Amino acid sequence: MLAGAVASLSLPPFGLWPVLLVCVPGLVWLLDGAGERRSFARGFAIGWSFAFGYFVPSLWWISEAFRVEPEKFAALIPFAVAGLPAYLALYWGAAAGLAARFWDTGWRRLMLLACLLSAGEWLRGHMLTGFPWNLPGYAAEPFEGLSQAASLGGIYALTLLVLLASAAPAAFWQPGHPKRGPHRSGLAYAGIMAATVIGLHVWGNQRVTDYDAIARAADPQSAAPLVRIVQPSIPQNIKWDRTRRDEIVSIYLQMTARPWPADLQVPPLVVWPESALPLLLAEEDGLRERIAKLLPKGSFLLTGGLYRSAEADGTTRIYNSLLVFGHGGQMMGRHDKVRLVPFGEFLPFPAVLEPLGIRQLARLPSGFSEGQADTVVAVPGMPSFAGFICYEAVFPRSFPRKQLPKLLVNVTNDAWFGTSGGPHQHLVQARFRSIEQGLPMIRAANTGISAMIDSAGRVRASLPLFETGILQAALPATLPVTWYAMLGDALFAALALVFLTVVLICRLNNL
C-alpha cells in the first residue's frame, strides 16, 4: 500500500514520474515471492494492496463532492474514499494474481506483469460503465514528446509502455536468483526500453514541430473562428437554487454580451459549461431569442444543459446534454451524455441501495437518462464536433472514418471538487483526447479549468480555478488523422498479444 501511495505522486497535479522507477520494481519484487509459490491468492493480495494505496490518495478529491451538502452526504465520505479504490483495486489484484500464477524469471516476468496490468486497466475502463481515471499512462504527461505516442495506440498503449519501462530496474535482480551484477538479458531489456522511450519522445517532439509548421502555413483566407469560453465560477451550493435563477442567467448574458473584436473574419463560437443554466433552455423561447441578439450574425452557442424528451411510450426523460443554438435561438443539434457518473447522475442497483437510504447526488428522482450513442454533431456553418460532457472526457473514443469530427468540445462542472487535484487530473485527461484524435478541444468549465487545447494536447490558453472571466482564443488547426482515430484500441491489443507471445516462446525455449 505504501508503494502504491508513493506511485500516485506520478499523477497530476504532482507529476513526479521518477517514483515509478522505484515503486513498480518494488511491486515486482514483492510479487517474486508469490511467483515462486505460483500463488494466485498471494499475488492478488499484493496487487490489490498496491492499487488500493495508489487510488486512495489520487482519488481523495471525490470526498469534496459530498461536502457540497454535508448535512445529506457527509456520512458517505468514508464509503466513497475507501469503497471506490477498493473496487478499482480488484482489477490490479486479478492481474497480479494471474501473473503470479504463471510467474517467470528475469525480464520475462516484467513483460508478463505489464501486459496483464494494462489489460486489467482496459477492463477497468469498460466493465460496469467503466472508470478509467488515473491510468498509469498519464504519468507521461510531463513529457510533451512521449505523450504524443497516444496518437498511435491511445492511453492504454501508453500505459503498457509506462509499466514496461518503469519496471526495468527489476530486470537486474530477482530475489532467490542471485547474479554477479547485471546479466546480459537484464541489460538488453533496460536498453530496449530506454531506446523505445527516447525514440518515441524524439518522434513526438518532431510531431509537435511539424504541427506548428502546419499551423503557420495555414491559408490566412480561411481564418479560424474565434471562440469565447464563458467561465462564470458559480458555486455548486447555489447553482440550482431557484431563488438565484435570474441572477445566474444575468451573469451568463452579461459575460456573453461583452464587446467583440471589430475585425472578425468568420462568425465566432460561444461556449458555456455543463448544465449552465438552472432551467430547460430548449423550452425557453424568449430567453433563447435574447441570447441570439447578443451574438454576432452567423455565430453559434454551444452550451451544456438539461434536455427533456417526451418518448413514444408516454414517458419523459431528462438528458444531460450539449446543445447547439444558432440563428434566432433555434436548436441545431445536441449530444446526450452517454457515460453517466455512478452515484452522481444515476444510482446503480436501486432496488438494493434505495432501501438503505443511498441516492445519487443529482436532484432528479430517477436520475438522468443515458444517451443512445456517441455521435458527431454536424451543423451547417460550423466545424463538426464530438461532445464530451464532464467525465466523458476520461474515456478514449474512436469514430467511423466517414464521420470523423473536426473539433472536440468538453463542457464540464468541476465545482463539485473545489481546489483539489480532481480538476487538474480532469484537464490532463482531456488533453490526451486531443492527442489521440489529432484535434483541438474547446473546454468550458463552470469553475475552471477552462482551456483551449490544440491538436497536440497543449493548453494554448486557460482560466485558473475559481476565476470568473471569459477566455477568447482562435480555434487551433487540426492534424492529419491519427492511427488511434482509425484503429482505436486495436494497436494496444495487438502489442499486448505480441508481447505475451514473445514471453511464451522465450519461456518454452528458455531464452
Measured CA distances, 451 to 312, 435, 460, 465, 505 (Å): 39, 15, 7, 11, 48
Q: What is the rounded CA–CA span in Å between residue 459 and residue 375?
A: 25
441: nearest Cα among 415, 473, 419: 473
Residues linked to residue 505 through DSSP beta bridges, in sequence order: none
What one-letter code names the amino acid at 319?
Y
* 219 in Cβ contact with 464 (< 8 Å): no
The grid cell for 89 is: 483495486
* 228 in Cβ contact with 470 (< 8 Å): yes
The grid cell for 64 is: 469534496
Classify 129 in phi/psi space as left (phi over 0), alpha (psi -120 to 50) or beta. left
What letter would DSSP give residue 224? P
* 416 in Cβ contact with 65 (< 8 Å): yes
The torsion angle over the Cα atoms of residues 89, 457, 418 and 280, rounded to 10 degrees, is: -100
Sheet holding 226-231, edge to edge: 331-336, 316-325, 300-310, 269-272, 226-231, 469-474
Active-site amino acid positions? 274, 337, 390
Helix (H) or strand (E) holding 459: strand 459-463
* 350 in Cβ contact with 358 (< 8 Å): no
Beta strands (DSSP E) in 273-363 are 300-310, 316-325, 331-336
Residue 433: alpha-carbon gap to chain centroid: 7
**65-89 as b/e: b if 16+ CB within 10 A:** bbebeeeebeebbeebbeebbbebb
Neighbour tally for 308: CB within 10 Å? 13
Q: What is the rounded CA–CA span in Å between residue 429 and residue 150?
A: 11
Q: What is the rounded CA–CA span in Å between residue 117 and residue 500?
A: 12
